[in-house]
Amino acid sequence: MSSFRDDAPPSSQAQGVVEELGWPISSTRPLSAKSWGSFTNLLEQATSLSQTMPSDAMQAMAKYRIAVENIANTIVERTADPLEGAFIEESFAYKRLKGACFVGHVKTDLDSVAGAIGAANLFDGLACRSEDNLNGEITYVLNEVANVDVPPLFDTTAGAGVPDENGERRSVCLVDHNEPKQMVPSLAKDMGRIIGCIDHHALAEGFTSSKPLLIDIRPWGSMSTIITHLYIRLSAPISKSIARLLMCAILSDTLALRSVTTTDADRFAVALLAKLGEIESPDTVAKQMFKNKTRWICNLGPYAMVRGDQKDFSVDGWKMGISVLEVTDTAPVLAIADLLLLELRILKKEKGDRSGRENDVTAQLDFAFLFVVDVVKQCSVLLVCGGREYALASKAFPGCEFRIAKEGMVKAPGTTIELNQTLCNVGGMVSRKAQFVPSLSQPLAAGFTCHRTRVTDPAYKQGASGALLDRVLSNRQAEVRVSSESLQLERDVKVAESALYDQKQPA
């Protein structure tokens, strides 16, 4: 069945597994329809590599070595003399992205920023960042790996958020998101400007348009993989700097190609970009990236740690918020687990905050979860901030061990959860999109009930601690301020804590 095996030279058995899999693609012969046929066989054989190679990035490099060398060599010639396919793509499909403004999602990440820069470079456009603060991973990669400028802020940049000297604003192409909730707020109110979307997320219900858009959404592990693919399809040269930037973004989104969201497209792109970026060990770069991100995350303080990478989901009328912290070491995060649990409780309430007016309980969350992902060991723990969360987590992660989130904690967060239920070890799960959300959604979709009804239910009643916490928050007794010492966002936790924890067990 496999022409790869039938045609294999007899000596191939003696060669290394990588060499064997590479045959008959040659780094000197140009790729042809025939050799791409063998490439398909090569992909089918790929699983046999997993036991023999030390890391996923090394596997990818080995697996695609010959194909990568081939493309790296020919891509320069193709720039001068584009393939017909590239000519057609550029003339017809992608012409409308020329000169556009490219911008990623708020609560931004490396994939969003790198993808915007990569796309703007490809289409002669303007890359913008969606918000002011960039995490430690983004600044590390921009400044120290890729050596590119930090893109300007969308809202204050001429041609992006404000008109340029000719009074004009560019068309916008979204990268790495399509949900209005994740757009720069000024853009979400002005979606008519959007002419394109390059993304790797599920299509959101709220994403509509009055005119047809150019949409390139692929089920790959990173949006920057799609941008890499576009460079190749359009026969465009990939500079060392852009190659490094895109490679880092793919490593970031796929946790160094180890997340379940990783596809062969991502592995191939990393192998190619490492070659073009002259990076010998993507793993070493990834480790540095994750270390910089961890240091940055742990310096944020509990308020920002809970809100930095937080998304809301709704299943069968239940509303849950899921925060994720990806770190190389979970110890410094769990050392402040008590404060994180408190912030999760406050976050649920905060969603109903109507600046000064009475809290809109129906806009609150039913559940708030925080997953602490260990990107080195590729496993996660879940912080469980209350009785509802415990009820759902114990159904969503059956058989997983629950324990106390922080040794020495003395008060459980609420009257319907015990101290030894405040952390759940969910094991080898690491992906919000592919694992956390589906696991938590499943029981909700299957008729979940607990001691409370949905917050949107007219019959919903908060518990005593919830009601008191509401009052504390609306009286601004635990307001968030910038600490003059640490420059972290901080609040008077004592008053919030006593509202939450000092309630008598209901009779």
Binding residues (CB under 5 A) for Mn ion: these are 111, 176, 223, 253
Which C-beta is closer to Mn ion: that of 176 or that of 470? 176
Amino acid at 105: H
Q: What is the 3-state secondary structure (H, E, C) of 136-186?
A: HHHHHHHHHHHCCCCCCEHHHCECCCECCCCCCCCCEEEECCCCHHHCCHH
Query: Residue 114 Cβ, how far from Mn ion at the closest point, in Å?
Result: 9
Alpha helices by DSSP H, 33-83: 33-44, 56-63, 65-80
Closest approach of Mn ion to the CB of residue 235, in Å:
25
Buried b / exposed e across 44-68, counting CB within 10 Å, b at 16+?
Answer: eebeebeeebeebbbbbbbbbbbbb
Whichever of 86 and 187 has its CB closer to Mn ion, that residue is 187
Residue 350 CA to residue 85 CA, distance in Å, equals 51
User: Which of 25/286 has CB closer to Mn ion?
Assistant: 286
Least Å distance, CB 290 to Mn ion, is: 16
Instruction: State the nearest-atom distance from the C-beta of 474 to Mn ion, in Å.
Output: 36
> Smaller CB distance to Mn ion: residue 179 or 253?
253
Q: Report in angstroms how near the CB of residue 147 gets to Mn ion at its nearest.
A: 22
Nearer to Mn ion, 253 or 389 (CB): 253
CB-nearer residue toward Mn ion: 174 or 405: 174
Give dist(CA 365, CA 459) in Å, integer: 16
**Among all residues, whose Cβ is closest to Mn ion?**
111
Least distance from Mn ion to the Cβ atom of residue 136, Å: 18
Q: How far apart are CA 392 and CA 262, in angstroms?
A: 28
Integer Cα distance of 69 and 274 in angstroms: 11
Q: Is 24 or 115 the residue whose CB approaches Mn ion more closely?
A: 115
Least separation in angstroms between CB 222 and Mn ion? 5
Shortest distance, CB of residue 111 to Mn ion, whole angstroms?
A: 3
Smaller CB separation from Mn ion, 57 or 223: 223
d(CA 109, CA 309): 9
Q: What residues pair up with 301 in beta bridges, in sequence order?
A: none
Helix (H, G, I), strand (E, B) or coil at 323: strand
Tokens of 292: 């910089």
Smallest distance, Å, CB 298 to Mn ion? 23
**Closer of 193 and 433 to Mn ion (Cβ):** 433
Which residue has tokens 């990569």?
118
Residues 443, 449, 452, 458: is their CA dihedral positive or negative? positive
Q: What are phi and psi of 409, to 5 degrees?
A: -60, 140
Closest distance to Mn ion from the beta carbon of 254 (Å): 9
103 has which bridge partners?
128, 174
292: left (phi over 0), alpha (psi -120 to 50) or beta: alpha
Q: What is the DSSP letter of 12?
A: G
For residue 195, the surrounding DSSP H or E stretch is: strand 194-199
What amino acid is encoded at 497 in this protein? E
Q: Which is nearer to Mn ion, 223 or 382 (CB)?
A: 223
